Structures are given as C-alpha cells and as structure tokens.
Structure 1
C-alpha cells in the first residue's frame, strides 16, 4: 500500500484535468512538473510568487512525487526526491506558466505533465502468418540455450493486462503469498486502487493493447494451448498506466502515468520494462526517471513509433533506452514505422498473433495486430532471455548484447535508410549463444572551437571532436574508429579521419586519443544540423553510431566590454530561439546572470502595419528575413557586428524596408559600459513611408530567477529609460536604453502581468500588433508600473522615408551599479556615436549619400549644463558624396520639416571629386538667419561643425539648421536639407 501512495498522489492531483494537444505532443491542463533546487523549501518558492506576475494563481496541489521516506537515498534517488507535481487553478497554458516558474531562483526546471499515446495499432482477426515472428528471429533455436528464468521480471507498462488469461496467468509474477504483483495506476476514472491485491490487479475489459503486448513478451509456452512466446518462462508484471475515461480521437486510451509506471516497476523488482507507447514530447522529468530505473538495474525497451517519419520519438529516443523499429516478416521497415538517428534495433511487428482479453467484444483468446507496439515486446522478451543467460550483465550490457548480435537487414531496405533503422533485426539465437559479442559506444562527445573561440561553430572554423569510448561487452583489439558524413557543409580533415586503439577491455572507458577535426565550409548552410557517423571496425566486428552538431547559428555575442549581449540576424536581441532561449547568453553585466528574457527591434506606421522580431502568439514573430547573416569583427579598440534583414516575412503587409544593423562594443573606459546598435532603414519600395516609428522592446528579468520585484521609469533630464530591482541587495545592477540622437524620443513602460489596460503581455493573444504600435507611438508615457515583472519600449518617431532613401537610428544599451555613472554612460554613448558616424563606419570610403545628421546633443543648454554634458556646444555632422546632382527642388515648408531629403545622386552622370559650394546656416522660428557655420568650397567627405551658444546670444526655443550643397559644374542642381534643434536655458 505504501508503494501506491505515490501514484494516488499523482492521480488525485490531475483527476479531471483536460488534455491539450499541440501536434504530436500531449500534456495536461492546469498541471506542472517542478523540480526544486537542492536545499529549497517549498514554502520559500510559494511565498516568492508575486500576484503582479502570477495573478490569482494558487496551487491546489504541490506535492512531492517521490517522498524521501519512500527512497533509499542512493544518488539517483536523492535526485528525484526534489520533483513535485503541481496542480493550479488558472487557465494559463502549462507551457507558458512553466517558463515563468523556471525563472525562479528556487527551481531547477518546470515543465508540463506530458502524456503519451499507445503506438496506434490496427486489429485484424485473421490469424495470418501465425507466429512467423518467432521463427524469423530464431527463437526456437534460442530456447535450446535458455528458456528464461521466472526470477527475471518483464514489466508491461501499458493499458492493463488480462492477467487471468489462460495463456498468461502462469507467467504473471506472484508474491510469496501467491498474490499478483501488479498495479493499476489509472483505474477506471483515473483513481488507482489503494492496494494492488489480486482482486484489484490491472485487469480490465479495455486492456486489449497491454494484453496483446504481454503475450508477445512472455505468454506461457509449451502448455499445449494457444501461443508460445520469446520470453518463455520469464515472469510478467502488469503495470496499468492508462485511464479508461481518457481516450484519443481513435478511441485508444492515453498513457497518463508512463514514467510513474516505469519507476513503480523498477522499485518492485522488474529487470526489463517494455513501453509500447510514446510521442514527440521530450521531458527532463521523464529522462530522470529513466536514468533512475537504469541505475536500479532495469533495461527499458520502447517502440520507435508509427508515424512513418524520420523523427525522435520518446521514450524510445531517450538515453538509456533500447529503441525498436517496426519491420515486416520480410525484414523490410514498415512504411508507417518511424526511423531515425537514435534507433537501435528492428523486429517483426506486422500481423503478430498474441493474447487477447477474454471479455473483449471479439470473442477470441488470441488476435493478430500490427505496429511497433508489437515489435517492442518481442525485443523485451528477448532481453528476458539474455538476462537469464548472462546473469551478471548490467541493464545496458543486456541491451548492447541484443544490439550487437543483430542480423544486418539494411540491404533489404531503402539505401537512404541504411543506418536509420537500427543495427539490424534481432537474432535471438545469436543473442543468447554468443559470449564474445563486441559493443563499443561513444558515451561522451565534446567539441572545441578552434576558430574565434566563442563556442559557436561557424563558417571557415575548425572544430575538434574529443570522444570518450566505453566497451560494454567482450575485449577488442586493434579497434579502428573513423568519422564520416555525407553533408557537404563540412570537410573532415584528412589526417583525422580514423583513429586506432590497440586494446580496450570489457567495461573499460577510453578517452586517451580519440580525437577528430572538421572544417565548416564557406558555402555551408545557416542554422544547420550536421549528422556525423562514427564507424567502429575490428576483427569480425563492425558498428556505427550517430552524433550531430549545429553549425552557423544566426546569432553572435558581443563581449568586448563589461556587457555581454547576444544579437541575431533577424532583429532579435538576447536569444535566437525565443521562447526556448537556449541560443545566446541574453544580457549580462560584469559576468553576472542574464537579465534579459527577450529583446526585439520593431517598427510600424499604424496598428495594422507593424514589423518586428518580438513575441507573437507564443512564438517569435517572423516578419524579418535574413539577407546577410551576422558577422563579428574584432578591432583593437572595439568589436563590431553587422547583419542585414528585410521585412519580406510579413508578406503582403510588409513596408518594403531593408535594415542594416550594426552594433559596437568598445573595450576601454569610458565607453566600456554600453553597447551601441545602429539601424539603417532603407525604403526599397516605390512609395514614400510616412509616420514611421521604430524602436526596441526589452523584457527585463532582474534577476532572471525572481523577476517579480522590478520597476522601470524614464529619466527626463538625460533622456533614457531604465530598469532595476526593488532591492539593491538582491541585485544592484541598473540597465538603461536610449535613442541616441533624435529629439523624437518615446518610452512605454509595461507591467507584464497587467490584467487591464492597453498592453497585456500575459493574456491569451500575448503581444499584438496593436499593442506594439501603442508602445512605439505613444510618446513618453509617465506611468507607474510599480514593482512587477516588467518590460519597456524605447523608440523614435514619427519619421518619413522617401522612396529609395534611408533613415538612420541608433540606440544605446547600458548598465552600471551606480545610477550617476549610468547617466554619464548615456552621455558618453551619445558623444561616442556622434564621433564615430564618420570615423568608424566606413571611415576609409567616400560617402555615397548626402546626409545631414541630427545635431548632438539636442536639446543643448546655452548655460553650459544639459543632460548631454556640461558644454554649451552642439555638433552638426554632414556627408557630401562624390556624385553629381540630378535635380533640385525645395518645398515651401521645408524649414518646418525635420526630414527633408531633396535630390538624388545621378549615378548615370558619372563620379566627380570637384569641390562643392557648401553653406550651413542656422535660423530662428521666424526664418531669420542667426548664424553661418559653413560658407566655402568643400570636397566630398564627412564633416563635423560645432555650434557654440552663449546664454546672452540666443533665447530658448526651436531653431533650424540648413545644409545647402551646389556643384559648380552643374549650376542649379542643389542638395538642401533642413533639421531642427532645441536650445534651452
């Protein structure tokens, strides 16, 4: 009864929960698996949950799944005693809630409670082929060596077993008192029996699948009735893990308690555990329980699935599981059977005759059905024979003995699947009769980036591969290991294509000299997975093993100064794979924890026309398409990254903008506490773009593990947004961002957990285009968001971009532990950017466009004090290209237009380096000239002019400065542009 307490807990916690389906993934509503960090008390976690973030969330259940009192305190058991099952009251999707809870400093991981389906089967009551599967694998000859041992228990973790079936009862494992040792974890309605006694064992009229699987594995043999089985005398342990009241669209019961059943079987003496079920859902919790069962000496055998796909299928694809592919009686993979890089063996699974529930509508004790569900128990039964024959073998050695003694049937299958359907079809005779089988496996593979050392495997880099080998079976001499791939994205270095090991003994681990290298080629694909195959060759031994490497990720990490920031090729910051957030480091200051959950570039002209890289309906927006992947160059004084993308991903809704994104990270003080990101937006369309706003969205988590006491505000004196944690003793880092040179600044603070208002990130539609537009275009919003989980948007606008012209914007990201120093960093970033416009970016090239830049600082103070420094001076920069002007026009209201760009270079007329006559003048609001800054001939180039104003000279207000450029060789063809500036006192 104590054993069943654990499952009673789970069942009562998830009783009545609905099933959520996302593709081939299934999980329960209102239910989570949470693993706490070592030493954490649950009350610490519960008290840390802020209503601002989690609203009215409360846990109706938060219970330890495997209490310490039920464990024996081995290392694997101590690991799983920190796993809890949580049931909660709100309607939030478990996937989204688990992401938020995973941020807690008290939590190791949180994830949905995944469930699985039995591997769909098709009943067929014709007894075609009878038991040809046994003859195909040489079972009768194997029985001459061993008929199995009743002490070897095969657990059937499934939909239940008709344990009193006349061809099963004799092999059902019984305790010393003669009672059945089995369990019904699902019950009729999800509530298990409180004691696995004989009269409540897992036996029900709906146990078709489990009963059929059990008979394949170990029906009673040589009893003059029915069928024989591969397991022969091995015992069966029925473990029912489905619920009769929860079924899929085909009427098959869901596997609710799969891994809980695996643990129950391991704790109750099972040696082999069969799992003829699964899905594409990968779970840390499930892998931990499988590791636990393996450590207890259990071999887990699982079906590879029936989707006809090249895919990973779980639990079959987990580490420490023997994965079984479905073949027909002729050793050909069934067209509906899955295949892949993590499959181990194949076995017949077509029209397999086995036991059938006595109370089934089809009034037969036996039936023939098909699927990888039928192939898996054939392997599990064989594992029982191997365990009976080789009594000292560990669980993994049993699995390797079966795999190593397979018959190669790849020549009977499609050539392109040769190494994707396991090592071969199982051969029972070989498995029990060959004590000299060899199985060498790579049990650890590590990689060393010999290129720029950033840990990302990129074009033209050489990657070293270091491999640790384990020999599970007989000793092997003169072992040759080679590395191969058919992928044209990489080239294996010739000198490292093969490695030789003179000798490796049984269960010996060798990592002395197994090293390989490969080079990533210039024409290789981006975000591409390369599959490599290790081949093992020795006398009478051939084997292989796959591993994979992801190359050319479309992100880089800027790390030249105190800030680390990952930047992508599609407008996102912090991470390349929102919401998984595994590709990138986020935003870190001075080597600390990540502080940014998400960052994204956004722009738009209306609430129905917004382009961005931010979240959208649980995934990252795909408005931006990469044109040129991000690349980083490291100079003596700074680090620079460049990428180009456009908004073609928005389809018909696109604006037609191409964005060149350039980021700078400066190595030395006083520029080592910020990163500058510049966006050059070119209007590639044939129409003007008006009313454009562009900016950056940041979701800050400060600190990441407890982001529920953060706040954000705007510094009006220095024109920047900042965020910080409530308690500086918890985190004293303050982060900031600002638009660098424009006067058209906007700021919008966001309470992520808000349940009312215009912007609500945690509601069902998440971050809509309408909400994004509000955050971009609402000016500087003075709203107190209190202490919560926060985000903010910093933007500029409105702007106009004429057809085939461009807009240049730049933002700064800064951090410091001193607010005063942070202010100074913002000031310094503006100075630095103005300085580098012509000196860093393309400094050795003549300009190709006429550009009049916004003055900096702006506004500035005639008294010598401003948010931009203590100097009553502003700087104006402009560029004159080496092209001849084609036309001249000037609107009557150009003096009031901050974005007038008149005339385009006539590239057909040829290039000219002749002097141009240039004037730069300043006007007041009435159009009166107040200063002439330039009035001379100038050659093409980049120029900088200072405008100094004393307090007594000009009053506070708006002024305009106008650049006029005329080439004497083309009279009347003039470039004119006007911008405004603000003087304050």
Structure 2
C-alpha cells in the first residue's frame, strides 16, 4: 500500500506538534455535528440547548450550548444577504450552526474524552475548547517613540491613499477606550443603530435591534463577556491591551496630540472578548467576536490572542469570516519557540511575528513555517485607557502593525479579496534574512513595508497549497539514506506570470538533504490558476538525520529569473515508530513500549490497530512492568488522563525487518527503565511479528525479552500489556471476559455482532494475570477516566485472574505474566497474541495457531493449562488507603464452601465482619464492608473457606 505525507498549508503540518502546548477549558469539549445527523436535528429542535441522550453514557451529567450565539448567526445571515456573492461565495453548508459546547461534571480530561467522542457516527469532530490568552509583554518606557512608523514607511504610505475613503478594522480584543482623546474620533459607529427610531427614540439606547443583526443597541461594537460573562453593548476596556492594539492601528493622525496610528483613514471596530477585570489576560467567545466583526463589515480583523491548541471549530469560523470578505490577521505567540500558534497558523490567516527596531526577531517571538510576515513588536508606544500612552512588547503589537498595512492595501485596492490582500502584504515585504539567518523561513517572507504594499501596481505571489512526500519503499517513514519525492500544487494569487519556475533548496536545519531535482519549469501561470507540478522533486536524505528530525525545504518561485515568492515546507523524518501491515492486521509500534499510536491521546502518529483496512480498534496499548505499586515502570496513561507515563528510554529505535519471521515481517525495538525515578533495573527487547499464513493472518505475535541489568535479584516481577480496545463508536457497549478454559481475553461490541471481535492471550508457561477493567469505574474496578495511578495499575496487573468480566461499557484489558524472578543478567521471554476476527470460534482457533507457531519458532510458548478458580480477595474499593465508611469488596470462591470474611488488626484481633459463615458456590462475588472509626494503621481483610485462608492488607487513614 502506498503511503504518503500530505502537508496542507502549514496547518496540518503543525497540528500534531502542539498538543502538549494546548491550553483548554476543563470539563468542556466542543462537538461539530455531521450535517443532518439525528443528534444534531434533535439538539436543533431543542433550541440548541439541553443534554444529548446519546452522549450521556460517555459524558454523564452535562449541559450544552451553541459555540456560535444565535445573535451572531443572525448577523452572519444578514451580512450574507447584503453581500454580492458573485465576488465571494457564501459557505453552502452552515457548519457554524452545528458546533456545540458540552460542559460536563465528571473529572475526565477533555482531550481524552474528545478522542472518544470523535468516533460517534453523528460527530464530525470533537475537541477540547481552547483557552486563548493575550500576547502583550509590558516594559518600562526607556526607548524612543514609534520607531515602527518610519521603519515600515507608514507615513510615506499615507500620501498614496485615496482621499475621503475609510475602511473598518475589527479589533477583537479586550475593548477600546472609545473616548480616548487620541483614538475616539477613529472608532467605528454602526449607522443602523444611530439616529431616531419611528417613536423618536434614540436608537442607541432603545433596547431594540434596529438594524436586524441580532444585537440590540450595538452602536459602537459589542461586548461578548462583560463583567460576569453576560454580553452587553459597551465594549469598553477591561485590560488595556485592546486600546493599545487599537491605537497602533488607527490613533488619530495630525491632531497635534500624542501618537499616530500606522494606518490612515481607518476606523476601528471594538469587539470585546475580554472580561471587565483590568488584570485578566484570558479571552472568550473569540469566534463570536470574529464573526460579528466580519458580519458588520470589517475588511480586516486583528486577533492579538491565541493558544497552542488548534481547533476545527475555529477553522470553520475563519472560513466563514473569509467568505464575508474579511482578512484575519493574528499574532504568532510569545513563547519564543518553534511552534504553531492559533488562530495565526490557520490557512487564510495572515500570521505575524515580532521584530525589533533593527529588524531582528525578538527573543519572545514564536517562529514557525506557518508564520507569514514579521513586523515591529518591541517597545511599541501607543494609547492606553484614560487618555494615556504606554510601551508594550509582544506579537500582539506586531499583528496590528501588519493589520493596518493590510487595511491600507484594501483601501487602495478595494477589489482585492482577503486572500489577494494577504498575498500583497507578503509580496511587498522587505527581506531581512541577513539579520536572521538561523531562522530563515520561520519568521515569514520578511518585514512588512507599508509604502510598497500600497504602491505596487503589479504585485506577484504564488502559494504552495499542497505538498505531499512519498518514499521509495512506500512505508510512509522517511529514513536515513532514503530517496523521497515531493509533489507540489501551486496557485497564482496575483498578477500573471510568463515563465514560472519552482526552485527547491535546503533551509537552515540540523541536517542538509541533497536536492536531486532542484528546479521545475511551470511556464505561464494565469491569475488564480492552480497547477500540479508535472514532475516530483527528488530528495536524498543523508545518513546522519536525527530521530524525529524536521526536514526543512525552501520552495522559491521565480518568473523569468525574478523573485516572486518563497515558502517553507517541512516534514518529520526518521520517526521513532513504525507500522507493520503485511496481513489482515495493521499496527503501529513505537520505541518505548506502546502499540497503536506514538502520541497518546492525540493518536495521529500511527494507525492504531486496524482489521482489513477498517477503523482502528485500539485507542491505547502500553507495556507495564512492576514489583510493587511504586516500582512500576510503564507507558500507559498516568496521574493525568491526557498524559502517559514515560518510564522507558529507547535503546534501539523501532525497525521493520523480514528476517527471523516465517512468511511475514517483524518490528524490533529495545528500551530500558534506567531513567525512571522508581526503576526496577530492566532492559527489554520487543518483537512484534505479523505472519501471512492463512491461520495466522488475523494475528500479531508479541515477544518481550525482559533482562535484569542490575547486580541484584529482581523478585516478584509482573509483566503486563494494557489495551484500551474501542470496538465501534467511542468503545461504548463493549464487554470484556476471560475464558478460563482457553486462556483468552475476549473483547466484543455487545450490540453490533457485525463488528469484529478481539482476543488477547499470554502464551508463555508463566503465571497468568488478567483484569477486565471498566473505564468508567465500578465497585470492583478503578475508573481510568480521571487518572490511572500506579497503585491502580498494580491492582489490575497482579494477583492472577483478578476480574474476569467487565460490565457493558467502555472497557480496557490488562493481561500479563508473573510473579517471577530474574537473577542478575538473566532474561526471560514473555509472549502475547492479539487476534481479530468475525467471531470467537475464529479467534480461539487463530490464537491456538499462533501459540503453535511460536513454539515452532523456538519462542517461550507452551500449550495452555486451564486455570482453576482460587479462593482470593480480588478487590477492595479505595485500597490501599481507606477511611471509615462503606467499601465494596470483591472476592472469588474456588468451590462450594461456607465463607467468612472479616477485618483484623496486626495482632489478629477482629474489628468487623463482612461475611459471616455464608454458603457460596464457585464464582466471584461482591459485598460491602462497613469500616468503623478505628485508629490509623495497617489492617487485613481475611477470607476463610473450607480449603484456605487468604488475607489482603490495607491502610486506614483519618
């Protein structure tokens, strides 16, 4: 199967790398419903409010609200009705009305829940709700005033602009001091809400929506948050940020007062998305703010806020605003790192980073291939509330500089579309590469030049709109010494080209590839024309590329040898994970013990575990090893559900091989727990085999060669695999059970027999451990929606067949071997099988075949011996530390017998009785223990039957 990596405009390339930087609202997810889906229609019929029945099993108690307010939708509809859609087409699918915010009570991580919800058939996208922040950096006033105006030649540009024409820039921010002596005259006014109504009342204050845009009395903008989240019609400042940004764009010129804005003949539209608190740097309802500004006629919309978290919902909003004729200009972020920042990094947005008075990138500026231009953003002097002025630093200050330039372009050339305006601003930048060589391609094309932007009558710009990498062996992984191909689609945004040529060169990076095909002739290229290059660019990767390295290529467009445009293209090379796909199963294996995906919980680096090319059946697969609850190296989700433990350090990067496999392939990797704070002293070599024989083509065989690398004996070692299988949407209605007669754990969707089933087995001649876990928790199972602590992991991976059956819910499976001991230098191999098939008969047959094949291969596999039920205490709710009160106790009885269960102290003195000489048949049971108010310390739960007496310790805290 041919695999390729397609990068779409800087957005998709950055998506996976920023999840760790995401700043999201707790207990909140955003869902975009599929058009016409039953859940959406029911929600719409309920007024886009109220709980959703289909979500309750997964989310629990919850409420919903529209992502875009009804009033904003009205404003958008009105704006579309007023527009000439022969110029810019209205979006035919009203996606913005199908976006819903869900707030829930359960302590479940939003990123984890969103991934689960994404598999529901009615859900197009589920994602956390991004929390955006302002991007200024205050500083003492110790530099000269407004160096940025002459630097970008703004004053010269004013003379080129037409007289008696104005343009509106939306300032979606923290509000504007509309009475500021140096800004108030340039604040936008809504003519539809001014003058007298039919009753001779002032439209500004009559509490009526006179212009029919969904907002009453919005005569000079709108406040979407107010003091306590309640919208109002007074977009006056909380934080001074918005007034400073507004002054950068349009402080009054030639009034002999204070400062001058970058732009002339600009009116700023106050759209407040910050709270009234002057110290708050958090903003909300930014999408409503953007759509309001676009609907009310803002040609340019400045967004000096953002986060590292991308959002499909926000992309939809940006696209809608663009169809209304608005260009979004946004700040690239102040983290001082190479990362994408949103909304700046979205397609169609002009992304701006900050430079200083010497045109050098500032220390706080984010840099990334998604950045389009740079502009002055250090010590910018502008208006602040109360007729005052101050200096601020940040990409928040650079963005309005570029926004003002874009506004003057559209004022000078009113027929330009948003995309064309963006292209003009980029095409007329000054080159500052000599001052920023190490960041070339990461701070945009150059620093904005206002005079060039408004003076250039024949600007030229060509965009790369698609880039696709493919490799020679067609596995989708770009490795050392491999030749890869780059396919490009380009679009001419502006003036026609007569002899277009595409040049590809290495950009500054940690390694330099050899470009075999460095130029491709396109020929004539008309305005708006899109072409796929007739040939691919051939690239030879060197032998010394780093793991998870970034390939950086500069794509330069010329026309008859004259420069036209430049854009950086990136790709991840030499990744530390591989995918095996030679039989009916495809699975990704990384270099530290995960199977399924490399980047839990984003789950975009890898294929999971798929059957016959279908959707992934595995949400998370992880290795866990331990000798006690504390000393338990693992790579499963941890104390925070959205962050996995990372106990293992790679010793050998995952490698796909065909040796030592009868008719198939294997992935081999090795890792150690050497850097884990509670290291046991292990090194582990893992092999994942996929074979193509008829009886094996639905199986994966996994071996773990576990070696003691320290000079002491490792005793009571347990080795387990954790699997969160999701069979069907979100893994709901799944069940898990252990078949003692065959040693197989079975996972099925109980309502969809047409979905495949999954079987897992530990096939080595070692003690077996198994736990059927309810992800949402139960009296006999920990919940892993809130966290998966090491103590909980220990409970599920030790103690034999501890829980043989789950409830019907979202489930996980823990299967493993132990206890066993390892002398210094000793190794022991533990073997597992995963099988997928149409029914249990097929699964059990395939697992038996895999067990036999493993024996023939000389692996540590043996025929299965049935495990009898033993008398045991399998679970104490809340253990290991309990307080007074009720706690459920689960226990197993091996044969019919009277059972007594009681609590005793260290000296054997009875404290309370749970079960008093009650007759039980063989099986598993749950009873309630009422623990009295006793002293802190160690206690034991003792179970006595005809044949045995077993105890389980716990601690009491008060």
1:491-527 C-alpha deviation (Å, 9 max, x unpaired): 3342x12222322222221213252122333432222
- Alignment-derived partner of residue 346 in structure 1: 374
Q: Secondary structure of 1:305's match?
A: coil
- Alignment-derived partner of residue 28 in structure 1: 25
- Alignment-derived partner of residue 301 in structure 1: 329
Do 2:135 and 2:395's aligned partners in 1 also have CA atoms closer than 8 Å? Answer: yes
Q: Secondary structure of 1:572's match?
A: coil
Q: CA 1:377 to 1:642, structure 2 compared with 1: closer, same or farther past 3 Å?
A: closer
User: Structure 1 residue 233: deviation in Å?
Assistant: 1.1
Do 2:509 and 2:551's aligned partners in 1 also have CA atoms closer than 8 Å? Answer: yes
Answer yes or no: is 1:89 the counterpart of 2:121.
no
Describe how 1:55-204 pairs up with structure 2 within 5 A: 56-59=60-63, 61=65, 65=69, 72=77, 74-75=90-91, 78-122=94-138, 129-147=144-162, 150-177=165-192, 178=194, 180-193=219-232, 200-204=233-237
User: Structure 1 residue 672: deviation in Å?
Assistant: 1.7
Q: CA 1:90 to 1:310, structure 2 compared with 1: closer, same or farther past 3 Å?
A: same
1:570-597 C-alpha deviation (Å, 9 max, x unpaired): 1111111111111111122222221111
Q: CA 1:833 to 1:489, structure 2 compared with 1: closer, same or farther past 3 Å?
A: farther
Answer yes or no: is 1:800 the counterpart of 2:821.
yes
CA–CA distance in structure 2, aligned partners of residues 337 and 450 of structure 1: 38
Describe how 1:591-606 pairs up with structure 2 within 5 A: 591-606=613-628
- Alignment-derived partner of residue 472 in structure 2: 450
- Alignment-derived partner of residue 38 in structure 2: 41
Describe how 1:231-270 pairs up with structure 2 within 5 A: 231-245=263-277, 251-270=279-298
Matched positions, count: 800
CA–CA distance in structure 2, aligned partners of residues 646 and 815 of structure 1: 27
- Alignment-derived partner of residue 692 in structure 1: 717
- Alignment-derived partner of residue 584 in structure 2: 562
Q: CA 1:599 to 1:505, structure 2 compared with 1: closer, same or farther past 3 Å?
A: same
Do 1:148 and 1:231's aligned partners in 2 also have CA atoms closer than 8 Å? Answer: no
User: Structure 1 residue 743: deviation in Å?
Assistant: 5.2
CA–CA distance in structure 2, aligned partners of residues 818 and 28 of structure 1: 42
TM-score, scaled to structure 2: 0.79
CA–CA distance in structure 2, aligned partners of residues 226 and 690 of structure 1: 77
Q: CA 1:149 to 1:218, structure 2 compared with 1: closer, same or farther past 3 Å?
A: farther
User: Structure 1 residue 650: deviation in Å?
Assistant: 4.4
Q: CA 1:575 to 1:211, structure 2 compared with 1: closer, same or farther past 3 Å?
A: same
Unpaired stretches in structure 1, ≥5 consecutive residues: 1-20, 194-199, 839-852, 861-985
CA–CA distance in structure 2, aligned partners of residues 657 and 316 of structure 1: 45
CA–CA distance in structure 1, aligned partners of residues 741 and 262 of structure 2: 81
CA–CA distance in structure 1, aligned partners of residues 807 and 163 of structure 2: 69
User: Structure 1 residue 711: deviation in Å?
Assistant: 0.7
1:888-911 C-alpha deviation (Å, 9 max, x unpaired): xxxxxxxxxxxxxxxxxxxxxxxx
Task: Name the larger-Rg structure.
Answer: 1
CA–CA distance in structure 2, aligned partners of residues 521 and 240 of structure 1: 51
Q: Secondary structure of 1:300's match?
A: strand
1:638-681 C-alpha deviation (Å, 9 max, x unpaired): 22224232333443532322222222222121222211112222
1:698-751 C-alpha deviation (Å, 9 max, x unpaired): 111111x2312111111122121111111134x431110111141522211111
1:271-310 C-alpha deviation (Å, 9 max, x unpaired): 0011122232322222221222122221111223334333
User: Structure 1 residue 859: deviation in Å?
Assistant: 6.6
- Alignment-derived partner of residue 214 in structure 1: 246
Q: CA 1:77 to 1:585, structure 2 compared with 1: closer, same or farther past 3 Å?
A: same
Q: Secondary structure of 1:48's match?
A: helix
CA–CA distance in structure 2, aligned partners of residues 467 and 23 of structure 1: 30
Q: CA 1:514 to 1:297, structure 2 compared with 1: closer, same or farther past 3 Å?
A: farther
Q: Secondary structure of 2:27's match?
A: strand
User: Structure 1 residue 108: deviation in Å?
Assistant: 2.0
Do 1:481 and 1:537's aligned partners in 2 also have CA atoms closer than 8 Å? Answer: yes
For the aligned residues, what is the CA RMSD? 2.8
Do 1:32 and 1:94's aligned partners in 2 also have CA atoms closer than 8 Å? Answer: yes
User: Structure 1 residue 554: deviation in Å?
Assistant: 2.2
- Alignment-derived partner of residue 577 in structure 1: 599
Answer yes or no: is 1:772 the counterpart of 2:800.
no
CA–CA distance in structure 2, aligned partners of residues 122 and 695 of structure 1: 52
Describe how 1:848-863 pairs up with structure 2 within 5 A: 855-856=862-863, 858=865
TM-score, scaled to structure 1: 0.77
Q: Secondary structure of 2:131's match?
A: strand
User: Structure 1 residue 399: deviation in Å?
Assistant: 1.5
State which of 690, 700, 703 in structure 2 corresponds to 1:678. Answer: 703
Q: Secondary structure of 1:781's match?
A: strand
State which of 831, 835, 845 in structure 2 corresponds to 1:824. Answer: 845
CA–CA distance in structure 1, aligned partners of residues 162 and 407 of structure 2: 9
Answer yes or no: is 1:461 the counterpart of 2:504.
no
CA–CA distance in structure 1, aligned partners of residues 340 and 67 of structure 2: 31
- Alignment-derived partner of residue 362 in structure 2: 334
CA–CA distance in structure 1, aligned partners of residues 320 and 472 of structure 2: 37
Q: Secondary structure of 1:620's match?
A: coil
- Alignment-derived partner of residue 503 in structure 1: 524
Do 1:458 and 1:552's aligned partners in 2 also have CA atoms closer than 8 Å? Answer: yes
Answer yes or no: is 1:620 the counterpart of 2:624.
no
